[in-house]
Amino acid sequence: MKMDLLTSLYVFMLAAFIGFEVIKRITPLLHTPLMSLTNALDAIAVVGAIILAGEHKTTLAAILGTIAIVSATSNIVGGFLITDRMLKMFKPSGAKKA
Amino acid sequence: MSGILGSDLLIEITYLIATALFVFSLMWMSSPTTARRGVFAGEIGMVLAIAGTLLHHGIVDYKLILIALVLGTIIGIPLGKVQMTAVPQRTALSHAFGALCVTLVGTAEFYLPRETPMSRFMIAVLCMEVILGALTITGSLMAAGKLQEWLPQRPITYKGQNFVNLGLLGIAIIVAVILVMHPERTQLFPAIVAIPLVFGVMMIVPIGGADMPTVISLLNSYAGLSAAAMGFVLNSKLLIIAGALDGASGFILSMNMSKAMNRSFSNVLFGAFGQEQVAAGGTAEAKPVRSATAEEAAAILSAANKVVIVPGYGMAVAQAQHKVRELFDGLTKRGVDVKFGIHPVAGRMPGHMNVLLAEADIPYDKLLDMDEINGDFPQTDVALIIGANDVTNPAARNEPSSPIYGMPILDVDKARTVMVIKRGMGAGFAGIENPLYFLDRTLMLFGDAKGFVGNIVRELSGGAGH
């Protein structure tokens, strides 16, 4: 149990470092799609909700889990959709046909 | 038994691949040429992780899951198809959804019957998850409401506001500490959800539209951190990593935004922004300004070699971006070098202007960040400001008494001619007078952004017809 926690802390720390390094390189041009993308990725919390709803250990857990799946899924679907729609609009000078 | 272990291993492998794909996804976001690949990687990772989770041997009830997944998709599709001008409020709303998921799971986990009681550390992390999640839910809903203009955009402040807000948060934390020390007092838990829900509302009440880029980024960061905390509770490395990446992203963006507004980060963290903006007690003194017509503006623009357009939120409000594209095309055709100078906090969220201009088909290599464009202004013939105000105010550079002193601005006043499209002489959002408008080189173009740009375009094409 204690080891698990420590490992989790290591994982969190390293992921945060990677996050800083990777995000720093992202051009301000794409900061809006970046936010909608990370929003969609963050909705991976759906896996926790799926287990909660699926295991059906208590009625409360099943109900809360189900609502949680709905809200996370809407983020996944909506987030990826709009990110791709935005990115499709970014074209370089050469590709432009007026 | 071995079958169960086998499926567990398979699940972990899907999570491992999903994690790698998520990191790749963000790496590919660094450039517009690879960014769509990044979205694809993220999607594959997400599908893999969900498919893996469905193999979990503890799952007995697939019906609820399926219904919820379908329902979420039905809600998600319209949210992915909103107009580009509505992206800031959509983003705020999705922060609320993300936080809702985390808060609900955290609450359910707390009440779950378990053989061995949760360790104190776990309870502490769970409390953090729920506190961050709950304040993000209501905070984001408030932000979305303000952005959608369902709620008043003007900040609402009262005496002792910071004291009340910090007090609320403090009480939530104290209750959490008591709960960690006495885990048997489960009746305290609802307070840990309820108080931050109230705090979230109170936190956004004093926030005005111009502070939204910082606030949205901050809420993004909170949503990520609460998801990471959920990963600790569920012992899911995938969640910890996704949450940490999201948290880091939101953190960096809010740092950028607060730097671009010259606010200290602690100022941002404690939600004490939008405060103490002294109402400009100005008697409307009639200082002379020079104004010009669309015809004159068109003549000056077409005679220029180098033009920098500075868009602001006013352009978005007037929906002028398509007219601006026509202006861009018209000038480019005449051999004028046209670029866009974009301040980090222009608009209502980070990168807002870029998305609107890209939607209007302006090539992204013409959209330059403040740091990239500022060196160009001394060689610029015309700086054309459309719907931006405070981010061009030279007082930020040379008037220590100004409330925005020290804020990095676009140095438009170094251009040979400055043109400002503006409805009237009203002060900017912050209520601060802009000395830029009274310079000799400045021409005020009074009118609606969309209409005025349209008139310039007409003049330009009329001239070409001769």
B336 vs B402 pLDDT, higher one: B336
Q: Which residue range(s) make up the domain with B371?
A: 294-464
In a domain, B282, yes or no: no
- In terms of domains, do B207 and B336 share one? no
Instruction: Supply the pLDDT for residue B431.
Output: 62
Q: Is residue A12 part of a domain?
A: no
Beta-ladder partners of B417: B382
> Is B284 contained in some domain?
no
- A interface mutation test: which of B27, B219, B245, B343 has the most A CBs within 10 A? B245
Average pLDDT over every residue of B37-58 = 94
Say whether both B168 and B257 belong to one domain: yes
Confidence of residue B411 (pLDDT cuts 50, 70, 90): very high
Tell me whether residue A6 is in a domain: no
Q: Which domain holds residue A71?
A: 26-90
Residues 65 through 84 of chain A touching chain B, CB cutoff 8 Å: 65-84
How does residue B466 score in pLDDT terms, banded at 50, 70 and 90?
Answer: very low
Say what the pLDDT of residue A94 is: 78
Q: Is residue A51 part of a domain?
A: yes
Q: pLDDT value at position B465? A: 44
B119 and B75 part of one domain? no
Chain B contact for A4 (CB, 8 A cutoff)? yes
DSSP string for B67-126: HHHHHHHHHHHHHHS--GGGHHHHHHHHHHHHHHHHHHHHHHHHHS--SSPPPHHHHHHH
Maximum mean pLDDT: which of A84-98, B136-150, B259-273: B136-150
pLDDT at B426: 64
Find the CATH number of the domain harbouring B299.
Answer: 3.40.50.1220
The yes-or-no verdict on residue B23 having pLDDT over 70 is: yes
Domain boundary among B61, B81, B101: B81
Residue range B148-204, pLDDT digits in tens? 988 887 777 777 777 888 899 999 999 999 999 998 888 999 999 999 999 999 988
- Whole-number pLDDT of residue B390: 85
Q: Which residues of B171-195 are buried (b: 16+ CB within 10 A; e: fewer)?
A: ebbebbeebbeeeeeeeebebbbeb
* Domain co-membership, B314 together with B459: yes
Both structure tokens of B318: 């007037």
pLDDT band at B8 (very low <50, low <70, confident <90, very high): confident
Chain centroid to CA B415: how far?
Answer: 30
Q: How many domains does chain B have?
A: 3
Please report which confidence band the pLDDT of residue A95 belongs to, taking 50, 70 and 90 as the band edges: low
The answer to whether residue B92 is domain-embedded is yes
Are residues B103 and B47 part of one domain?
no
Tell me the residue type at B349: M
pLDDT of residue B168: 92
CB contact under 8 A, A53 and B73: no
Is residue B448 flagged as an active site residue? no
ipTM at complex level: 0.94
Asked if A67 lies within 8 A of B104 by C-beta distance, the reply is yes
b/e code B29-39 from CB counts within 10 Å (16+ = b): bbebeebbebb
The answer to whether the Cβ–Cβ distance between A12 and B244 falls below 8 Å is yes
Mutant choice from A9, A29, A51 vs B, greatest count of B C-beta within 10 A: A29
Nearest by CB to A39, which of B33, B95, B342? B95
Give exposure, B231-246, as e/b (b: 16+ Cβ within 10 Å): bbbbebbbbbbbbbbb
Q: For residue A88, what is the nearest residue in chain B, using CA coordinates?
A: B36
Question: Closest Cα of chain B to A67: distance in Å?
Answer: 7
Do B367 and B333 share a structural domain?
yes
Q: How confident is the model at residue B282 (pLDDT cuts 50, 70, 90)?
A: very low
Confidence (pLDDT) at B276 = 45
Contact B230 A45 (CB under 8 A): yes
Shared domain check, B351 and B439 = yes
Minimum Cα–Cα distance from A87: chain B residue: B36
Cβ atoms within 10 Å, residue B131:
26
> In this model, does residue B266 exceed pLDDT 60?
yes
The pLDDT confidence band at residue B399, using thresholds 50, 70 and 90, is: confident
B252–A35 C-beta distance less than 8 A: no
Same domain membership, residue B220 and residue B185: yes
One domain for residues B104 and B237: yes
- Chain B nearest-CA residue for A19: B245
Does the pLDDT of residue B314 top 60, yes or no? yes
Lowest average pLDDT, out of B20-24, B273-277, B295-299, B405-409, goes to B273-277
Given CB atoms, is A96 within the 8 Å cutoff of chain B? yes
B243-252, B270-279, B413-422, B448-457: which range is least confident on average? B270-279
In this structure, of A2-11, B40-49, B373-382, B449-458, the range with the lowest mean pLDDT score is: A2-11
pLDDT score recorded for residue B157: 76
User: Do the bridges between strand B417-422 and strand B382-386 make them parallel or antiparallel, or are there none, so unpaired?
Assistant: parallel
Mind listing the pLDDT tens digit for each residue in B94-151?
999 999 999 999 999 999 988 888 889 899 999 999 999 999 999 999 999 999 988 8
The last residue of a domain, from among B276, B310, B336: B276
Chain B residues touching A73 at Cβ < 8 A: 68-69, 71-73, 75-76
Report the domain count for chain A: 1
Residue B191 and residue B258 in one domain:
yes
What is the reported pLDDT for B281?
A: 42
Q: In a mutagenesis test of the B interface, which of A1, A27, A47 is the best target, namely the one with the most B β-carbons within 10 Å?
A: A47
Q: Which long-range contacts (CB under 8 A, 24 or more apart) does B293-299 make?
A: B293/B445, B294/B445, B294/B452, B294/B455, B294/B456, B294/B458, B294/B459, B295/B459, B296/B443, B297/B419, B297/B443, B297/B445, B297/B456, B297/B459, B298/B456, B298/B459, B298/B460, B298/B463, B299/B459, B299/B463
Rounded mean pLDDT of chain B? 88
Catalytic residue among B211, B246, B376, B390: B390
**Interface contact B351-A30, CB threshold 8 A:** yes
Going by pLDDT thresholds of 50, 70 and 90, the confidence category of residue B270 is low
Assess if residue A17 is contained within a domain: no
The answer to whether residues B173 and B237 belong to one domain is yes
Cα B186–chain centre separation: 37
Among B86-95, B246-255, B259-268, B393-402, the least confident range: B259-268
Which band of pLDDT confidence, cut at 50, 70 and 90, is reported for residue B273?
very low
- Express the helix, strand and coil content of chain A in percent, nearest 5 each: 85, 0, 15
Are B35 and B351 in contact by the 8 Å Cβ rule? The answer is no
Whether B54 and B140 map to the same domain: the answer is no
CB of B170 closer than 8 Å to CB of B234:
no
From B81, B102, B135, the end of a domain falls on B81
